[in-house]
Structure 1
């Protein structure tokens, strides 16, 4: 059973194609399950669409839900279309986000940290002129946010948990092993999954999120895993699924999961 739980579309402002394009791409790729998970609006902002090139407008959110549910019915029997969303995690707005999500029939919610210390994790300039001590501090802040997101109870999946390395490959070498282990332990105890996200191969780092080293430690802490291409164009749906499955088996994983009605569905590897 092939599945892909992380896909975007035009509403976020930085992806190509509409939702149906991704569903049809999933069918062509032989997927049995496809999850639609566009970027949530910035619900903590007073503006309708604070960052048009990053996340959808608040006024579009209900339309997004309705379109996914309509297409789910249209493609029933051909592919299982799941309703998801990729949600930013801001501790100060967690209750607001959680209350909004409760009003919709999500199959799963991906919790992703995209900003740390008020700056995008993908901002190349954040590392310029940084001392080793400052770099360690930034990495510790990032993993503390991920740990908080795991414990929040809002999410079934945590997205790209080492994506800060995307445009700064040296991030992985910043020594904070205890913090990563503590974060993985918290994730395992919280019962949420982490995704293997293949979009890292499109960034400077040239590899998946998270690294093999983190996946090995995730297995030790009993963390379950899932798959997401993080496709921002239909041609990337299901990208490298077979390679990820092979690598997970080599690491020692026996299964991975997808989510339906917020419950895990186990798929043997």
Structure 2
């Protein structure tokens, strides 16, 4: 059973290709299931589309859902098309997002922390003026937000949980292991899965999210894992799937999961 739950398309403003092109790429890659999971609109912002290069407009949500459902029916029997969304996590707006999603038949929601203290996690300039103590505080804050996102009960999967290292590889070495451990403990307690996201290979860090060390701790706490390429071009659908499967087996995982109709489905590795 081969699946990829994290893909994007043109609506977010920074990915190439249509949803159908990602589905066709999934078929070519031998996937049995593909999740369409574009970036959520900024539901709590006063503007319709405040950041056109980051996320879709609010008015596009229904069009997005309708298109995925239409293609789900079109490709039935060839590949299982799953309706997902990569949702931003903003602590002050959880209920706004929950209400926005409620009318739609999502198979799953990925919760991702993309900003801390109003700054993108991928902005490496944020680290320039911080001393060692401040860097530790920043990393702790990031993992506190991740733990909070698990507690909301809104998300089935947490996205790229060490992606702050993407354009700042030294992030991985900042000494805040207790915050990481606590986040993983909470994720396990809440029954939320984490993804192995292979898009980190496209950034300065040059590797997957999360690190092997973090996956080992996730295994220790009994956290379920899933797979997402985080494709922003159709050619990356399913990227490194077999390598990830082998790595998880080496760490000790016996299975991984995907979600359909908000139900967790376990697949042997």
* TM-score grouping bracket, smaller chain normalisation: over 0.9
Question: What is the correspondence of 1:66-215 to structure 2 with a 5 Å cutoff?
Answer: 66-215=66-215
Distance 2:68 2:129 in 1: 45
Aligned to 2:13: 13
Q: Could you give the per-residue CA deviations for residues 80-108 of structure 1, whole angstroms, max 9, x where no partner exists? A: 00000000000100001011111110000
Q: Could you give the per-residue CA deviations for residues 48-81 of structure 1, whole angstroms, max 9, x where no partner exists? A: 1010000000010100000000000000000000
Q: Could you give the per-residue CA deviations for residues 170-212 of structure 1, whole angstroms, max 9, x where no partner exists? A: 0000001111000000000000100000000000000000000
Aligned to 2:221: 221
Aligned to 2:238: 238
Distance 1:124 1:173 in 2: 15
Greater shift in the superposed pair: 98-107 or 71-80: 98-107
Aligned residues: 269
The residue matched to 2:84 in structure 1 has which SS?
strand
Distance 1:178 1:86 in 2: 27
In structure 2, runs of 5+ residues without a counterpart are none
Q: Are the aligned partners of 1:117 and 1:138 in contact in 2 as well (CA < 8 Å)?
A: no
Residue 129 of structure 1 and its aligned partner are, at CA, apart by 2.3
Q: Are the aligned partners of 1:49 and 1:57 in contact in 2 as well (CA < 8 Å)?
A: yes
The residue matched to 2:257 in structure 1 has which SS?
strand
Distance 1:10 1:123 in 2: 23
Q: Are the aligned partners of 1:168 and 1:205 in contact in 2 as well (CA < 8 Å)?
A: yes
The residue matched to 1:164 in structure 2 has which SS?
helix
Greater shift in the superposed pair: 99-108 or 13-22: 99-108
Residue 130 of structure 1 and its aligned partner are, at CA, apart by 1.3
In structure 1, runs of 5+ residues without a counterpart are none
Residue 124 of structure 1 and its aligned partner are, at CA, apart by 1.4
Structure 1's consecutive aligned runs of 4 or more residues displaced over 2 angstroms after TM superposition are none
Aligned to 1:265: 265
The residue matched to 1:146 in structure 2 has which SS?
helix
Aligned to 2:50: 50
Distance 2:153 2:50 in 1: 26
RMSD over aligned Cα atoms:
0.4
Q: Are the aligned partners of 1:110 and 1:157 in contact in 2 as well (CA < 8 Å)?
A: yes
TM-score by length of 1: 1.00
Distance 2:196 2:29 in 1: 18
TM-score by length of 2: 1.00
Distance 1:143 1:12 in 2: 25
Q: Are the aligned partners of 1:161 and 1:210 in contact in 2 as well (CA < 8 Å)?
A: yes
Distance 1:101 1:137 in 2: 32
